[in-house]
Chains A and B, each alone.
Chain A
Amino acid sequence: MPMTATQQVLARAAQRESVAVGDIVVCDVDRAVLLDMQFNSTAVPWRQPNHVEHPQRLAVVLDHGAPAPSLRDAAGHRLAREFCAAFDVPHLFDIGRHGICHEVIAENGLARPGELLLCSDSHTCAAGAFNTAARGVGGIEMLQVTCTGKTWFVVAPSIEVELTGKLLPYCEGKDLFLALARARGSAENMNLEFTGEGIGSLSLHDRRTIATQCAEVHAEFVLFPADEVVLAYLADRGVHDVQPVESESGAEYAARWTLDLERVEPQVAVPGKIVGNVTDAATLAGTRLDQCFIGSCANGQLEDFALAARVLADRHVASGTRLIVTPASQGVYLEAVRAGYVSAIVEAGGIVTSSTCGACFGYHMGVVGDGEVCLTASTRNFQGRMGAASADVYLASTRTVAASAIAGTIVDPREVADAA
């Protein structure tokens, strides 16, 4: 049977000729990324392994609470450093060299075509932009992978997502994803494999936002093709000799979704969840905002800073509204400073924090208070996600959030010149 791209990764990692939907396979994990939350949990305290199967395949990233917002986080960071020292883990992204795991994975060329990558953050499918089969698993499963190098998967059916056309100048990968979720709904227990000529026109920035966000339609693995854009990005990071996967002709898909990028309009997800909750930005015009947030693994990239700076230049964040912008890594931060994006944002009355997951999951540096309304370009809009359970979290593109911060209410980005 011809295999889909995802099946080829799983078959190779399981050392099998082939795999089929429904098979349970035990795979060798090519790359395992541990996070600070692994080491600071009070509910499931860290146990330093007696044995690590493949230390050279590990990376440890301090990102969710960085720099340490509490004594507990500081103690966790210490345990992470001790673990890396004890087992000669080659990649420790310690405070100062840190960033949000998915950004750090990308920037350091750790997401490689055709490989299998696991991390305990649920948006690990982000690495799918690099043709890497990647997913989030629980903390104790990461401990198992650390000790044994292996874990199991039930081979899921795949959906082919064919993209055609080109995004309009005022739309982003975020709008594309929201439009796809709006049109097609949930992909639970399914892999998503992106195809079509529309991909070529999408920047890696947009592809990474889209791959990341696919966690919000509950996808398993998410794969983009390894085209020349991906290969050039990796080559810049010294990664050559990769083994990309693409679907074999005749491979079976459970469904085929198509999306014409030209028809994508600025979208907003209303509070609670994404699927079944997406509407045109214009229909929410006038919704008053206490906080606007641009950041996270989905939209804390350098391109997001460039977009935000362009919209905010010579303007001011509305009084009564606060704008928080968090770079996805220290690398992004540095480039954003050099390019003048940080000063443009600060001059407009916004706050630029150091790199962290922070506000994305209501942990620190932008926790949303009781009854407040937030518009975020991060990954999730669940009840309680960014702080108070009574807060309302709307989710949109970087352009829409920046334009709305100026208005103090949700606006279609076309309402603000330069956002388009």
Chain B
Amino acid sequence: MQHEARTWTFGDDISTDLLYPQTAYALPLAEAAKLVFSANRPGWSDLVEPGDIIVGGRNFGMGSSRAAVALLRRLGIGACLAESFSTLYLRNCVNYALPALAAPGVLGLVEEGDRIHVDFSTGAIENRSQGTRLMAPPLPPALLTIIEQGGVIASLEARGLIPAAPTGASAP
């Protein structure tokens, strides 16, 4: 699995409270997605283009289990890289089929706006803007397979374990 796009960089310890503030809980997905990073980077969600890659620092996605990755997917984010991830967040990436790679040193490779190419099966990251490269540990094949199959919801649907559409009225 491979992906190429421009990048947005973030520092260490980006929490899911920043990714998915509780002020977004009552909103439908499209509106909730607009509030991603509204506390630490107001206006960011308007600038995101489909395919863009987030590059974070250490322990990206720390904190709660909330469905921050669903909001990133809705914004069109194509991949998420970081110096390291909170494993709960990384599990959510895999389960929502957002390709993610822990790549120590990646913040040194990328300046915000650079285009990078990522090969998730080999761990090769190429900075196309600067002509530099980094090798990260690849994503384990078992996890890549879950992403390639479209994540947990798609797989449960395909197996007939859940209905194709949501149940009941949970709209506000």
Within 8 A of A (CB), among B96-141: 96, 140
The answer to whether B62 and A273 touch across the interface, beta carbons within 8 angstroms, is: yes
Per-position 1/0 for B83-103, Cβ under 8 A of A? 010111001100110000000
Which candidate, A260-268, A377-385, A404-412, is the interface stretch facing chain B?
Answer: A377-385
B104 CB to closest chain A CB (Å) equals 12
B99 CB to closest chain A CB (Å) equals 16
Residue of B nearest to A138 (CB): B92
Residue of B nearest to A147 (CB): B161
Give the chain A neighbours of B15 by CB distance below 8 A. Answer: 273, 382-383, 385
Give the chain A neighbours of B26 by CB distance below 8 A. Answer: 42, 70, 72
A84 to B39, CA, bound (A): 37
Give the chain A neighbours of B39 by CB distance below 8 A. Answer: 383-384, 389
A381 to B39, CA, bound (A): 15
A47-B166 contact in complex given A140-B67, A361-B22, A384-B39, C-beta closer than 8 Å: yes
The answer to whether A41 and B67 touch across the interface, beta carbons within 8 angstroms, is: yes
Per-position 1/0 for B24-49, Cβ under 8 A of A? 11111100100000111000000000
B10 CB to closest chain A CB (Å) equals 13
**Interface membership of A55, Cβ < 8 A:** no
> How many interface residues does chain B have, given as a range?
35 or more
A220 to B89, CA, bound (A): 12
The answer to whether A384 and B17 touch across the interface, beta carbons within 8 angstroms, is: yes
**Interface membership of B4, Cβ < 8 A:** no
A362 to B118, CA, bound (A): 37
A51-B161 contact in complex given A138-B95, A189-B87, C-beta closer than 8 Å: yes
**Interface membership of B21, Cβ < 8 A:** yes
Q: Which of B65, B166, B167 contacts A139 (CB 8 A)?
A: B65
Candidate in A39, A82, A122, A362 with the most chain B CB atoms within 10 angstroms: A122
A76 to B167, CA, bound (A): 11
The answer to whether B65 and A42 touch across the interface, beta carbons within 8 angstroms, is: no
Per-position 1/0 for A42-71, Cβ under 8 A of B? 111111111100000000000000000011
Give the chain B neighbours of A218 by CB distance below 8 A. Answer: 59, 62, 86-87
The answer to whether A122 and B166 touch across the interface, beta carbons within 8 angstroms, is: no
B162 CB to closest chain A CB (Å) equals 5
The answer to whether B22 and A363 touch across the interface, beta carbons within 8 angstroms, is: yes
Per-position 1/0 for B131-171, Cβ under 8 A of A? 00000000010110000000111011000111101111111
The answer to whether A42 and B63 touch across the interface, beta carbons within 8 angstroms, is: no
Q: Which of B96, B152, B172 contacts A143 (CB 8 A)?
A: B152
A32 CB to closest chain B CB (Å) equals 13
Residue of A nearest to B64 (CB): A122
The answer to whether B161 and A189 touch across the interface, beta carbons within 8 angstroms, is: no
A135 to B88, CA, bound (A): 9
Give the chain B neighbours of A78 by CB distance below 8 A. Answer: 168
The answer to whether A47 and B165 touch across the interface, beta carbons within 8 angstroms, is: yes
A79 to B166, CA, bound (A): 11
**Interface membership of A75, Cβ < 8 A:** yes
Residue of B nearest to A39 (CB): B170
The answer to whether B32 and A24 touch across the interface, beta carbons within 8 angstroms, is: no
**Interface membership of B79, Cβ < 8 A:** no
Give the chain B neighbours of A147 by CB distance below 8 A. Answer: 156, 161-162
A48-B163 contact in complex given A40-B170, A273-B62, A361-B64, C-beta closer than 8 Å: yes
**Interface membership of A152, Cβ < 8 A:** yes
**Interface membership of B75, Cβ < 8 A:** no
B69 CB to closest chain A CB (Å) equals 8
Within 8 A of B (CB), among A329-370: 361-363
A42-B170 contact in complex given A24-B142, A273-B15, A383-B17, C-beta closer than 8 Å: yes
Give the chain B neighbours of A137 by CB distance below 8 A. Answer: 65, 88, 91
Told that A42-B170, A43-B24, A43-B29 touch, could you supply 15 new A-B pairs with CB distance under 8 A?
Answer: A41-B170, A42-B26, A47-B162, A47-B167, A48-B162, A75-B170, A120-B65, A122-B88, A136-B65, A138-B92, A143-B153, A144-B156, A147-B156, A188-B87, A218-B86
15 contacts across the A-B interface (CB closer than 8 A): A39-B170, A41-B25, A42-B26, A46-B167, A47-B167, A49-B162, A50-B162, A121-B65, A137-B91, A138-B69, A141-B95, A144-B155, A147-B156, A380-B17, A387-B22
Smallest CB-CB A-B distances: 6 pairs: A45-B166, A389-B39, A147-B161, A48-B167, A138-B92, A47-B162
A residues adjacent to B (C-beta < 8 A): 24, 37, 39-51, 70-72, 75-76, 78-79, 82, 120-122, 135-141, 143-144, 147-148, 152, 154, 156, 186, 188-189, 218, 220, 272-273, 275, 361-363, 380, 382-385, 387, 389
